[in-house]
Structures are given as C-alpha cells and as structure tokens.
Structure 1
Amino acid sequence: MTNKLMMLIALFFSIGIMAQDKLHVTGKITGIDNKTKLSISGGEKEKEFYLKDGVIDVEVDLKEAPASVFIIVYYDKDIKYTSFFLGNESVTIDASIDDFPNEVVAKNSKYDGLRYENYSLSKDLDKKRNDIDEIIEKEIGEGAKPEVVYAKYKDELDAIRKENAGRQYEFLKKNINTDYGRHLIRFYVDQFTEEQFKTLYSLVDPINMDRSEIKFLKTLCDSKQLEVGDIYYDFTALDLKSKVVKFSDFFKEKYVLLDFSHVNCGYCYMAAPKTALIAEELKDKVMYVTYHTGDNLKEAEEYYELKGKKGNIIWNKEGDLHPMMAMYRNMSTPSYLLFSPDGKFIKEVNGSKADLKSIILEEIEK
C-alpha cells in the first residue's frame, strides 16, 4: 500500500511540474466574436486559436522562457497585436480589442508586470514621437521632400530619443538582475555610452555573470561604436555548410558590404531581390556579406533563397545575442555597413528604402 501511495504522490507532482512547461493563457477579449482568428507566439512557437463565447483558453510551449509573447488578432480585414513578457506560467488577460497594442497586461504573471511598468514609463514619449511621425507622413504625402521634412523635426525627435534613453537607463540600473531587465539590453545597444554600459555591468550579481545577455553586455563594455575610418571588428561565424569562417576572410582587395538581415523581417524580405541584384552587379568591386541575425541554419538558407543565392550568407547559433552584434551595435534590420578594401569603416545605411546601390557607387568612386 505504501509503495502504491508513494507512486501516486510522485505521479501527481510530476503532472503538476509538467503543467508548468507550457504557457497557459485564460481570460477574455471583448470587441471580437468567436469567428475571429487569433494566434499566440513566443520564439519559434505559434498557435492559432479562437475565442469560445468570448473566452480565451490557450496553451503554447515556449522554447525559451521567459520570452516576448505576441497575441495577434486578425480583426476586420486588419491585424492588431499586443505583446507580453511571459514564462511557462498561467496568466489571465481581461482586455478590449481597443486596448491593443499597449494597454494590455497579463495578470498573475511573474514577469509581465515589469514589462508593463517599463512601457508606462515612456508612454508619454511614445505619444509625442507618434504625433510627430504622423505630421511627417502627412507633409511628405502633401509633396514635401522627405529629407527636408526629416531635418525639420530632427531636433525634436533627437530630444525625445535622448529623454527615453535616460529613463531606460535608470530603469535598467534598478532591474539589471531581472529577466526582463536583461532582455532589454539588446534594444539599447546604440543609445548608451560605454561608461553607462560599464555601470550596468558593475551592478550585475555574480550569479548572473554566465547569462548570455550579460556576456553580451560585457562585449558592449569592451568595444566602442565604430566611427568612419575605424578598422572593422573581426569575428567568426558559420556559413551555409556550418563551416566556421572569419569576417576577415572576405577582405580580398574589394570593398566589403556587411548586411544585417533576417528572413522574418518584412523590410528585409522586400529588400532581398534588390540586394541580390547589387551583389551580382557589383561583384567585381564589392564582396557582399549577409549576416543573418537568426539562430538557425534553416532560416539562413531560406533568406539565401530569397536573395537568389547571390552574395554570401553567414550566421551564428547565438542569434542576435552573439558578441558581434554588440561590437557592431546592430539594432535593426536591414542595416548595411560598407568597408574599404583595407578594412576601414566608410558608411552605414539603415532601412530598405534607401538607394543602396547609388550610395555604394558614390562612396567607392570618390
């Protein structure tokens, strides 16, 4: 009897532990009906679901937890989404579709309260920036030259960006030893000074030193943002045969273009055919190297297909937390860095709308 009882108790606890291996979301979202499709995703996991009488009841496995989790609502021929920072835990949502994307918090979460606190910290600045963005879009739509409009509002946008960076820095100083605080480091690589990074690193508890985000932070402390004329940072990566290569191997008496892209980035997806042409048309003068910021070979191969198998594709298993991403202060995709044949940094171009080919030709023909 005793052995059977002990086995039942052990089974009970094992089932309880297994239940914690999934994120379980319950609650409700008003303003949509039971026929509206939703999806929930975290990392590589994604699951479609529908409300049942207005009620959410969905589970999803998180590959790594805690992590950013998105709920997408395919609503009225449009898409609305909201994001959370969650672990494999049970949480409750009580929201309206009108609360999307930002005014939604996961109740009973160990992690999401801090994420919402951080959002609230900069809520007023987000509104100011969005208001200016709408004005810029309107003026360009009315025929104003984009470069003139952006120059007109540059000081205001820079002031907002600076104020936000200051608030985020103070937030991180208090929360660097939390999962959410460490998660944020990746998003401010180009906004803090080396001294600020060093201060943050000095506040890390010894128990957290081996975490990938903290190793990333240490690289930020030990490197500086490249300036025109600086020599490139060398690094190792994997090619499409999973062979280790060095970035320095690509410098063969040609200019080198380092392209940060990801197959799941919509702008990268649109840019791929154009950059494939650049890789082919300028191959006698420029070595085109795409660093795929994902953490797996399959996605790197998919992006290489999008580029018509033109140029070179490299990647690393650490994804966007690889030290090279810190060295180069990479913050967005697509982003392009041009180097001279002797390895000196010449120019950075961000986004998919710039005339990249003309910019490259202008620089190498000077």
Structure 2
Amino acid sequence: MKKTLLLTFIIGFVLTSCQEEQSGFEITANIKGLSENAKVVLSETESQKILDSAFVKNDSFKFKGYLDNTPIEISIVILPTDNNGQAKYTSIFMGNEIIEITGLSEEFSSNLKIRGSEFNKLKIDLAEKSKPANAEYDQNFEKMISIRKDGNWNDSLQNAYWGKNGIFDNIDNQLLKIKKEFVEKNLNTHFGLRQLYRLREDVPNEYLKSQFQKVKPDLKNTEYAKSLQIYLDSEPLKENDAFYNFKAENQNGEIVEFANYFNDNRYVLLEFYSPHCGWCKMALPEIKELAESKKDSLKVITFNVDKDKNDWLKTNKSNNISWESLWDENGRYSETFVKYRVAGTPTYYLFDNKGKIVKKWTGFDKKTTVENIKQRIK
C-alpha cells in the first residue's frame, strides 16, 4: 500500500513538473552569419524589462522561461561585438509557446522566419502590409539627411518634408489607413485589440468607440480592452484642470492617495518613470537636484509604470530615492497611466498647491526640462 501511494505521488509530481515546464516558452534560434559569442538580450518591448540573456554559439542561441499576462511583445537584441558594430533587433508577439527562429544575420530585423506562435502571425501580416510605406519613409528620411549634410536645407524643404500634406505626413496617413483596415479585420484578436489601443492618440474617440463596441465579451477582460474603456471614459487633462486622484502603493508598503500630497503650500511634480528607460536614467540626477534644491516649495512624486514590484523596490534602493515613489500592479495598463495619457517615459505633470495642472512635459531635455519646471514654481 505504501509503495503504491509513493509511486502515485512520484508519478503525480513528475506529471505536474512536466506540465509546468511545458506551460512556459522556449525560443530556439539558428541565424546564419551571427558573430560568435555575441550577447543576445531578451526583454519585454513595452517595459524594456530584461527577461534573460544568452551568447551566440555556432550561429545559435536559446531562451527558456515563463511569461506573465500573455500574449505580449518581446524584443530580441543582439549586441555588437566591437565598437564599430550595430545592434540587431527583432520582436515577437507571443505567449508561452515553443518558438523557432531561422534566417540570415542581415535579415534579422525584418525577414526572419518565425514559427510556432499563433499570436505572431498577425504581427507578421501587419508588418508585410506596412512594408512598402515604411520603405518609402526610410528612403525619404535618408534623402533628407543627405540634403541637410550638404547644407542645402531651407524652409521650403522643411515644409515639403514635414509640413501638412508633406512627404512624411502623407506616409503617416498611408500607415494609419493600413493599421485601421487591419484593426477592423482583426479586431477580435489579442493583437488586433492591442493595435486599436495603440491607435488611441491617432484616431478620433468616435472611431475608437465604434470599434470597441464590436469587441467580443471574451476579450473585454483583457488589459487592452480594460485600458481602452478607461481611456474612453476619461477626458484628457489640460492646463488648469484639477488632478485625477488615484491610489497606489509607496515604497514603504502603504496604500496612499494622490490627493493627500496637496496638504501644504508646495507644488507637486508627478513623474511617470521606468527603471529601464534610458531618458529616465539620464533625468535622475537632475530630478534629485530639483527635489533637494526646491524641497521647501516642491514635492516630487515618482510613479513607476512597470509591473515588476521587486524591480521597482530594487531601483529605489540602488538610486537612493529620497522622495515618495509609487507603484501599481497594473503598470502601463493601470487607470492612472491611462487617465494621465502617458505616451512614453519620462512624462512630467507639474501641479500648483491647489492641485491644478501648471504644465505637462513628455520626454526629457537636459538643457530645458528641469529649468522649465523651476521657472513655473512660484
């Protein structure tokens, strides 16, 4: 009897282990022409969080792991082996699947054969449809750079390339049309719904609403659908508008309310930040100096937009963050992120001591961003 129970336990354990192992992802790549021992980095595209790294051996590399909240887009970057080389980049929209990648080194960014992912087929389809317009964009961009280098740039050319109905505006309109047609055809898929969400700043709300009404119930519970609903239910914030209130966890493990930061006469700077964002890292010393030099008139509040809690806490500690740092488990799909219309990191909102928006900045400029913030603090 004991032997039977033991055998049953062992079999159950083995089967469970196998199921858990199979539930993860595996990426196997064989790319002819890769540099031996080149480092390959696997990361989440949106958050830039590094998932794993490997080294090229005999034109091959391999990753194995588990993805939360699938499907998501992951990036694979092959770093150059010398200072003169260029990184190679590709991405896959995938779940916990068995992926096989083959191709040539020179085709790494655009023409690899990626097998095994049902989710990625639509991504490839959209890329193929967009390829002619993207090629036209690249050709014109190179031509523009050449003209600038030759010193022949003028206002007329500026308008011809960048003005309304100019070269790049027309190409952007072509791409927008392609994306809309793709969304309308593939709306009730994870990738189609993701593309609709990514179009939110490029199309009228009426279009978003009309498409969102067609989303099937089984997809309404996805992050993309929930975020779209929040987006459609909220208005974009403008200067002199009152803040959107929200709750989040601070680095001490406390659930705090944003409204409570307006409890004295100080201004509040709300920074949307990612530990993996290069511009955020560049801004950090400047924000530290700002927080210290203006501590009597300004509170700095950082909102981490990524989901990894341990990564957030580790970053706070390694960067010696002395001000309040906030986190939401939903990351870039949180109500806060969506309502504040964060298009990228860093994004800054400056509020006066009554909670009214003074100014919003997207991105960071070492020469102007912090100086502009200081000038607006009375």
Equivalent in the alignment of 1:72: 77
Is 63-72 or 41-50 further displaced after alignment? 41-50
What code does the residue aligned with 1:203 have? K
Is 112-121 or 40-49 further displaced after alignment? 40-49
Give a deviation string over 1:252-289, Cα, whole Å, max 9, x none: 33322221111111111111111111122222232222
**2:122 aligned with 1:83:** no
Equivalent in the alignment of 1:293: 305
Structure 2 distance, partners of 1:150, 1:106, is 40
Is 250-259 or 81-90 further displaced after alignment? 250-259
What code does the residue aligned with 1:63 have? D
Give a deviation string over 1:201-230, Cα, whole Å, max 9, x none: 201111222222211111011012222332
In structure 2, the CA distance between the partners of 1:148 and 1:234, relative to structure 1 (3 Å rule), is farther
Q: How does 1:260-279 map to 2 (within 5 A)?
A: 260-279=272-291
Q: Which residue, 28, 31, 34 being the options, matches 1:32? A: 34
Structure 2 distance, partners of 1:137, 1:267, is 24
3-state SS in 1 of match to 2:188? coil
Structure 2 distance, partners of 1:124, 1:363, is 45
Structure 2 gap segments, 5+ residues each? none
In structure 2, the CA distance between the partners of 1:170 and 1:348, relative to structure 1 (3 Å rule), is farther
Q: Which residue, 19, 22, 25 being the options, matches 1:20? A: 22
Structure 1 distance, partners of 2:156, 2:213, is 43
**2:356 aligned with 1:344:** yes
Deviation at 1:83, TM superposition (A): 0.9
Structure 1 distance, partners of 2:87, 2:308, is 28
Equivalent in the alignment of 1:61: 66
In structure 2, the CA distance between the partners of 1:138 and 1:239, relative to structure 1 (3 Å rule), is farther
What code does the residue aligned with 2:116 have? N
In structure 2, the CA distance between the partners of 1:141 and 1:211, relative to structure 1 (3 Å rule), is same
Give a deviation string over 1:91-136, Cα, whole Å, max 9, x none: 2212112113233341232111111122233334434554566577
Equivalent in the alignment of 2:162: 153
3-state SS in 2 of match to 1:70? strand
3-state SS in 1 of match to 2:316? helix
3-state SS in 1 of match to 2:124? helix
Structure 1 distance, partners of 2:318, 2:43, is 24
Equivalent in the alignment of 2:108: 100
**2:131 aligned with 1:119:** no
In structure 2, the CA distance between the partners of 1:129 and 1:343, relative to structure 1 (3 Å rule), is farther
Structure 2 distance, partners of 1:282, 1:25, is 49
Is 109-118 or 342-351 further displaced after alignment? 342-351
* Residue correspondences, number: 360
In structure 2, the CA distance between the partners of 1:280 and 1:164, relative to structure 1 (3 Å rule), is farther
Structure 1 distance, partners of 2:200, 2:101, is 32
TM-score, scaled relative to structure 2: 0.81
In structure 2, the CA distance between the partners of 1:129 and 1:258, relative to structure 1 (3 Å rule), is farther
Structure 1 gap segments, 5+ residues each? none
3-state SS in 1 of match to 2:42? strand
In structure 2, the CA distance between the partners of 1:111 and 1:305, relative to structure 1 (3 Å rule), is same
Deviation at 1:67, TM superposition (A): 2.1
Equivalent in the alignment of 1:181: 192
Q: How does 1:187-336 map to 2 (within 5 A)?
A: 187-251=198-262, 252-305=264-317, 308-336=320-348
3-state SS in 2 of match to 1:336? strand
What code does the residue aligned with 2:39 have? K
Give a deviation string over 1:314-353, Cα, whole Å, max 9, x none: 1101111101111111110111122233333232222222
Is 18-27 or 77-86 further displaced after alignment? 18-27
What code does the residue aligned with 2:374 have? L
Structure 1 distance, partners of 2:16, 2:33, is 39
In structure 2, the CA distance between the partners of 1:141 and 1:347, relative to structure 1 (3 Å rule), is farther
**2:373 aligned with 1:360:** yes
3-state SS in 1 of match to 2:279? helix
CA contact (8 A) 2:42 2:77 kept: yes
Structure 2 distance, partners of 1:56, 1:220, is 40
Matched-pair identity in %: 23
What code does the residue aligned with 2:266 have? K
Q: Which residue, 40, 46, 56 being the options, matches 1:50? A: 56
What code does the residue aligned with 2:198 have? F
